[in-house]
Amino acid sequence: MVIGIPKEIMNHEHRVGLVPSDVARLLQSNSSHQVLVQAGLGEEIGFSDAMYREAGAQVVPEAKTVWEKAQLLIKCKEPLESEYKYLRKDMILYSFLDLAYSKELAQALVDSGVTSICGETIPGPKNNYPVLAPMSEVAGKLAAQLIAEYFCTHRGGRGILIGGCAGVPPAKVVVVGGGVVGMNAAKTLVGMGADVWVLDIDVHKVSSHPLVIANQVKLLYATEEGIQTALKGADGVVGAVLVTATQTPKVIKRTHLKLLNPGGVIVDVACDLGGCIETIHQTTHDDPTYFVDGILHYGVPNMPGVVARTASICYSNESMPYILSIANSGWKEMLKMPGALDGLNAYGGKIGLKTVAQAFGLPFVDAKTLIETP
């Protein structure tokens, strides 16, 4: 199989689909495989063209060549509009897609007939989303760093040191959602000395977390009363709500913003799928923030793209079992792996996620019927 890995073209997206060591693993699994890597793929994060060549890949100068020759195209982030023209029926696309947020991308998958496998919608054998989870960990920890950064006056904040100091209290930060993103954000915020509050609809799920057991965070129900209690006098908010394959519910409304201290900061990690803050909209790393009602909002959808070396190693390693199965046994066999069925996002001009197909009025294909067909 010809496997292609092009450079990402999203704003400040520096992750790679596979790191060199995993390219070597892929080629070692079957000597007939061919891996095409776009020149400069990982140069910015310490993975040189020479390293990819040493791993056995062929380095080609243009993205066009990689896209057109690849039978299996491996990306990290979803194709952008300028890349839609490369999608085709005889291609397998492996990538994160955030499909529920983009009808245009869903339509492009349908129009092209491409077979699309998405790591973020694979629950895995333990229902812990093995490909998505490390990206969520990265995003959560990075969100905490960003909150601290944007508290600074030169970044638009009101000059707060997140951990306070002798005689001055620490910043109060509210984390909305107690999943992987939220609790990694909370862990990092606690480590920086912040006063951390966590909101979740399922407090029993979160109650066994070490931070809760050790009383290092305050855990409240994500009810209207809980939201108001947590947000009153808060300096920062991390949006960390995830509902797989559908747009994120708006938990924090515009009316809630007045509860925050003036000059507060919101980082909504959930903006990839619409965000859990009513006033959030997607921004870019070049122009990441804006103000609503005096509150600074950060809405960059590809946050891990700027800590791309760490994120790429995680993404590549967790993706490898599925990529190896696709390359060596075919995508239908890959879907038979435990917890992998939901990984099919599109096939034959139809969408493989029922919620997305219904939301956008597009045809739906049930992955189960495809692997049951003799």
> What gap in Å lies between CA 203 and CA 352, rounded to an integer?
32
Q: Which residue has the tokens 């079957």?
A: 30
> What gap in Å lies between CA 224 and CA 142, rounded to an integer?
28
> What local confidence, expressed as pLDDT, does residue 374 receive?
55
> What gap in Å lies between CA 252 and CA 274, rounded to an integer?
13
Of all residues in the chain, the percent with pLDDT exceeding 90 is 94
Q: Which residues contact 320 (CB under 8 A, 6 or more apart)?
A: 18, 22, 25, 26
> What gap in Å lies between CA 128 and CA 131, rounded to an integer?
9
Q: Which residues contact 213 (CB under 8 A, 6 or more apart)?
A: 207
Q: Is the model's pLDDT at 73 over the cut of 70?
A: yes
What pLDDT, in 10s, does the model give residues 197-229? Answer: 999 999 999 999 999 999 999 999 999 999 999
pTM of the model: 0.92
What the block records as the tokens of 147 is 């909150």
Q: Which residue has the tokens 């997206």?
A: 13
Using 50, 70 and 90 to split pLDDT, how confident is the model at 242? confident
Q: Which of 49-53, 271-275, 300-304, 369-373 has the highest mean pLDDT?
A: 49-53
What is residue 347's DSSP assignment?
Answer: E
Instruction: Classify strands 92-94 and 115-117 as parallel, antiparallel or unpaired.
Output: parallel
> What local confidence, expressed as pLDDT, does residue 188 receive?
98
> What gap in Å lies between CA 241 and CA 269, rounded to an integer?
8
Taken in order of first residue, the domains within the chain and their CATH numbers are 2-122+308-372 (3.40.50.720), 139-301 (3.40.50.720)
Whether residue 103 contacts residue 361, with contact meaning beta carbons closer than 8 Å, is answered with: no
Beta bridge partners of 295: 292
User: 203-242 b/e with 16+ CB inside 10 Å = b?
Assistant: beebeebebbeeeebebbebeeebbebbbeebbbbbbbbb
Using 50, 70 and 90 to split pLDDT, how confident is the model at 239? very high
> What gap in Å lies between CA 261 and CA 357, rounded to an integer?
41
Of all residues in the chain, the percent with pLDDT exceeding 70 is 99
Task: Report the length, in residues, of the chain.
Answer: 374
> What gap in Å lies between CA 368 and CA 231, rounded to an integer?
44
Residue ranges of the alpha helices (H) in 151-209? 180-191, 203-206
Beta bridge partners of 198: 175, 219
What the block records as the tokens of 173 is 């930060």
* 279-285: Cβ within 8 A, 24+ apart: 279/254, 280/239, 284/11, 284/12, 285/11, 285/12
Residue type for 212, please?
V
> What local confidence, expressed as pLDDT, does residue 100 receive?
85
> What local confidence, expressed as pLDDT, does residue 373 receive?
59
> What gap in Å lies between CA 10 and CA 28, rounded to an integer?
31
DSSP 277-312: BTT-----SSS-EEEETTEEEE--TTGGGGGHHHHH
What angle (nearest 5°) sits at the alpha carbon of residue 319, between those of residues 346 and 147?
Answer: 95
| Mean of per-residue pLDDT scores for the chain | 95
> What gap in Å lies between CA 331 and CA 327, rounded to an integer?
8
Using 50, 70 and 90 to split pLDDT, how confident is the model at 244? low
What the block records as the tokens of 302 is 């590809």
CA-CA-CA-CA torsion sign (129, 133, 135, 140): positive
> What local confidence, expressed as pLDDT, does residue 372 receive?
79
